[in-house]
Amino acid sequence: MPVLKADSTLAAAAAIELAREAAVSIAEPDTVGEHVAMVMEAERLATHYFRCTSSGYQGWRWSVSVARSPRQKHATICETSLVPGEGAILAPEWVPYAERIAPGDLGAGDVLPYRQEDPNLQPGFEATGEEDIDALAINELGLGRKRVLSPEGREAAAQRWYDGEHGPRSEVAEKAPARCVTCGYFVPMAGALRRTFGVCANEWSPSDGKVVSLDHGCGAHSEADVAPQPPSSVGSPIVDEYAVEMVQFERPAAAPAAPTAELSDVAQAAEAIEAVETSESTDVPDVAEVAVESGLVEVAPAASDQAPAEQA
């Protein structure tokens, strides 16, 4: 491809300024930077590039195409756009939904897009219109599906199942007492997968209702049993007579105290008794009477005061 000679009119300062004005007219304010380069696209056709200073478009450039007609002494704007340069931040390449979805992504209500060319499927039996031939294929051979598993699809499924949790290398299988192929709950599959897989029908097994390999296993094998353990003897109980059990009791409420004489009454009674003992007069009251009157001594009723019935 021949190298195009630079056009002096399109490379002139006036053409560069004209291209800058065109870029500024479509760009956000203050996002058109310095002039980066000029590339000749064809004869009398060139593109000027300006750096984009927007923080969201690092590495991008403003592209302005200019041209001139023969014998024209000034440039004319053709096209203005924002294009990525070297090291520009780009969005990831778009991948169609049918190719982007992965196993396990489907949820309730989701529908997987139809794949016309699926390597895991191959054409199945299609009705011919002949009643006898169609009855034989559908009723006796169990066909009638538009597509069935291809050898590649069957091999991929078998490898995935064999390497999964219900294959021979899972932790449950490695600790199992026997293999599924000898278990009474093992239901063999039909078709080509019969030689390697079956279905577990044991409700006590963690693989119940799952496809398991013949060399898988678990603790719920129909012929396995727990080794009998000899009964352990229990010695006579030992009573620790020195053990102390701490018991917390509530302290009973204190009984109400008997009424006592006031301190002043006691002092007066004591003074009266002392006066009786030191007095020489014969008219002073008896000490016992003073004590009774002051309340220091209570006198019990005499036996003669009791009722006649009680004396009898």
For residue 258, pLDDT over 60 is answered with no
Between the CA atoms of 104, 107, 109 and 113, what dihedral angle is there, to the nearest 10 degrees? -30
pLDDT score for 97: 76
Please check whether residue 24 is in contact with residue 63, taking contact to mean a CB–CB distance below 8 angstroms. no
The three-state secondary structure class of 46 is strand
- Residues 93-131 have pLDDT tens digits of 888 877 787 777 877 777 777 777 777 776 665 566 676
| pLDDT, tens digit, 9 for 90 and up, residues 15-58 | 999 999 999 999 999 999 999 999 999 999 999 999 999 988 98
Alpha carbon distance 137, 123 (integer Å): 14
**Closest listed residue to residue 9, CA positions, set 80, 70, 78, 79:** 70
Q: How far apart are CA 169 and CA 213, in angstroms?
A: 10
Sequence spans of domains, the chain: 13-84, 117-149, 151-213
Q: Residue 263: in which H helix or E strand, if any?
A: helix 263-278
Mean pLDDT of 189-206: 87
The pLDDT value recorded for residue 290 is 53
Confidence of residue 223 (pLDDT cuts 50, 70, 90): confident
| CA–CA gap between residue 134 and residue 136 (Å, rounded) | 5
Q: In the chain, which ranges are E strands?
A: 32-42, 45-52, 60-67, 76-84, 121-123, 147-149, 186-188, 197-200, 211-213
Q: Per-residue pLDDT tens for 173-182?
A: 998 888 999 8
Distance in Å from the first CA to the final CA of the chain: 158
User: Structure pTM?
Assistant: 0.40
Bridge partner list, 83: 61
The whole-number pLDDT of residue 112 equals 72
Q: Write out the two tokens for 63.
A: 């592209």
Say what the pLDDT of residue 231 is: 65
Predicted confidence band at 311 (pLDDT cuts at 50, 70, 90)?
Answer: very low
pLDDT of residue 102: 79
- As a whole number, mean pLDDT of residues 268-290 equals 58
